[in-house]
Structure 1
Amino acid sequence: MSTATVIAAGGVVWREQRGERQVLLVHRPRYDDWSLPKGKLVPHEHVLVAARREIEEETGQRVILGPSLGIQRYDVRKNGTRVPKMVHYWSAAIDGRAREFEPNDEVDKLDWLGVEEARSRLSYPRDVDILDLLAGAAEVTSSLVVVRHAEAVKRKDWDGKDTNRPLTGEGQETAERLVGVLAALGVDRVFSSDAERCTATVAPYAQSIGKKIHLHPEISERGYEADPDALRGLGDQAWRAGKVTAICSHRPVLPALARELSLPVGKYAPGAFVVAHTLASGRIVHERFGAP
């Protein structure tokens, strides 16, 4: 019988303090170790949401997730046997000022340390490996989240204009679950096709942060078919320095949109998305996720 893998998520929490980059380590009394904050996913939780939640629960800090720092794989004991564990890590920048920490059963102490001191303090070499990847990922200049709209009513089942075709019940639930995902990524601008199925996918998040949706008819199916060149220049608007922009569009448009945004072309299932970051070096890093 195969053993289910334990999935967990966390991050390297960092800040700039007096010109020095500091990272946050946690002390767990149960193991008497110093480690990076992380924890297991709860049922049906998206891994990005879990990473942000676990960091806040263990440290009291609200963070915004940046580029991936990789995955750890090792075995742990569970119910008297050893099972595989997979831990996803992201760069996690403090959202605002550091907050007060209250010790709890899982974490009794935490410490802000310079990177070299943190390397020496960490109890596990695998955590040092993750920490070492922060240097190449922390300095993000701008970020994008490119989303295909969630599941919509099928064309054959809809008698109205295609642009008004709504989400299904499952699509609406996906849109609600996207709220936590986009919050974890710190999205602060929302672009969308003007089709109902796109705007409805990102509307719950836009409402949650009190922002309007910037409508772009040129990335709707109708607009793209009418003028495939109209989306040129959107990349300059989307890759705005210091901003995290979500863009919702359609399957037939996404390949051209990806090229305009300097991202790899790939297939998107309904509700799936790509998170991309431009680093200070000019390099773009990205990772792909299924619908939450």
Structure 2
Amino acid sequence: MTEQPPPVQEEDVIEAVAVYAAGALPWRLRSGELEVLLIHRPRYDDWSWPKGKLDPGETMPECAAREVWEEIGLDGRLGIPLPTTQYPVAAGLKSVHYWALKVGQSDVVSPDGTEVDSTHWCGVDEAATLLTNENDVVPLRWLSEAHRRGELDTRPIILLRHAKAKPRGSWNKAEGDRTLAASGVRQAAAVGRLLQVWNPERVVTSPWRRCVDTVRPYIAAANGKVKVKLDEKLTEASYRRKPDRAAAAVDRLFDKSKGAVLCTHRPVLPTLLRAFAHRCVPGIASELPTEDPYLTPGELIVFHVALTGTPRVVATEQVKPFED
């Protein structure tokens, strides 16, 4: 049975976290064998994973993607979440969140020369012996097991609730034209930055304005590189008439081979979540939200779908955009 990365238990934390950081385990297949990329940091003279401290105004996934880019020049899509590690440093307890990151054949690794002076591709067993911090072996073993199960190579399908809209009671025009609140506009900008971590190639959204305006910043940042579809079945009005039709939007995304984001309204979420749950491998569906409001405005769930075999959700993560 597939499992999610184990959460940090309260009894395991003996002090408050002083330092938050995030990073990724770059991986590739070479002659059918799994290889991972270690980095050497001259400041510490150690072998580790690309990672770094959380900047103000960042979510953990954004931090991981930024650190990989800054340290080794890879602008990749984050894959499945891996276990978080915790260990003591001079400032106190440090918590590091990790993701898998697939490196394509044409991708070029470019150490920045300051934080990282060299890199080394190697197999899992060699990596386990070279890693200086034994805590770094934990996400490595998880990544290796995911590969063994055929659940490492994935694409994202993202379920997004639109950002905060102006109050329904104060709106006297057509419901489909109701706009985002000022805080919702800021949320939409944050959503646009967050979605770039997974870089979905397709955007499917309710045509009502508050949904379209939520995905607009991401579409603009993609600069014409994403396909956009307005799906009337995702509106609240259509859902009230024929609720089962909304689930078809999920089914169509599983029939494609690209990453996607699906933006809709709170009342539609339970039906869409049930549709996703049917596509989950055992043990994953139980992690999905089951109570109203399911997602807060601007919040999203990433469903990581295996690229080999029957399309199935092998991991999920629920993320809120950073709000100023």
Normalising by structure 2, we get a TM-score of 0.83
Superposition pairs of residues 183-222 of structure 1, within 5 angstroms: 183-209=196-222, 210=224, 211-222=226-237
1:122 corresponds in structure 2 to 131
AA at the equivalent of 1:257: L
Higher strand share: 1
In structure 2, the residue corresponding to 1:133 is in which secondary structure? helix
Asked if 1:248 is matched to 2:263, the reply is: yes
AA at the equivalent of 2:99: W
In structure 2, the CA distance between the partners of 1:285 and 1:3, relative to structure 1 (3 Å rule), is closer
2:10 corresponds in structure 1 to none
Contact 2:192/2:218 (<8 A) preserved = yes
Aligned pairs, number:
287
C-alpha distance in structure 2 between counterparts of 1:250 and 1:158, whole Å: 17
1:268 corresponds in structure 2 to 295
1:167 corresponds in structure 2 to 180
AA at the equivalent of 1:236: D
2:314 corresponds in structure 1 to 284
Query: Among 246, 251, 260, which residue is 1:236 paired with?
Result: 251
Q: Over residues 78-115 of structure 1, what are the superposed CA-to-partner deviations in whole Å (9 max), with x where a residue is unaligned? A: 3xxxx111110001112562325244221111111122
| Deviation at residue 239 of structure 1 after TM alignment | 1.7
2:272 corresponds in structure 1 to 257
| Deviation at residue 249 of structure 1 after TM alignment | 0.7
C-alpha distance in structure 2 between counterparts of 1:251 and 1:110, whole Å: 45
Contact 2:246/2:268 (<8 A) preserved = no
1:42 corresponds in structure 2 to 55
2:35 corresponds in structure 1 to 22
Greater mean deviation of Cα atoms: 250-259 or 140-149: 140-149
C-alpha distance in structure 1 between counterparts of 2:154 and 2:259, whole Å: 9
Normalising by structure 1, we get a TM-score of 0.91
Q: Which runs of 5+ in 1 are unaligned?
A: none
Asked if 1:143 is matched to 2:152, the reply is: no
C-alpha distance in structure 2 between counterparts of 1:242 and 1:15, whole Å: 19
Greater mean deviation of Cα atoms: 246-255 or 139-148: 139-148
Contact 2:20/2:96 (<8 A) preserved = yes
Greater mean deviation of Cα atoms: 102-111 or 218-227: 102-111
Asked if 1:8 is matched to 2:21, the reply is: yes
In structure 2, the residue corresponding to 1:167 is in which secondary structure? coil
Query: Among 147, 162, 170, which residue is 1:157 paired with?
Result: 170
Asked if 1:110 is matched to 2:123, the reply is: no
Asked if 1:223 is matched to 2:235, the reply is: no
AA at the equivalent of 1:196: R
AA at the equivalent of 1:225: R
In structure 1, the residue corresponding to 2:125 is in which secondary structure? helix
| Deviation at residue 117 of structure 1 after TM alignment | 1.8
In structure 1, the residue corresponding to 2:229 is in which secondary structure? strand
In structure 2, the CA distance between the partners of 1:237 and 1:198, relative to structure 1 (3 Å rule), is same
Superposition CA RMSD, Å: 1.9
Sequence identity percentage: 35
In structure 1, the residue corresponding to 2:266 is in which secondary structure? coil
| Deviation at residue 241 of structure 1 after TM alignment | 4.8
Greater mean deviation of Cα atoms: 120-129 or 83-92: 120-129
Contact 1:141/1:241 (<8 A) preserved = no
1:101 corresponds in structure 2 to 110
| Deviation at residue 245 of structure 1 after TM alignment | 0.9
Q: Over residues 145-188 of structure 1, what are the superposed CA-to-partner deviations in whole Å (9 max), with x where a residue is unaligned? A: 11100011111222211110011122112111222221111211
In structure 1, the residue corresponding to 2:216 is in which secondary structure? helix
C-alpha distance in structure 1 between counterparts of 2:193 and 2:221, whole Å: 10
Contact 1:269/1:291 (<8 A) preserved = no
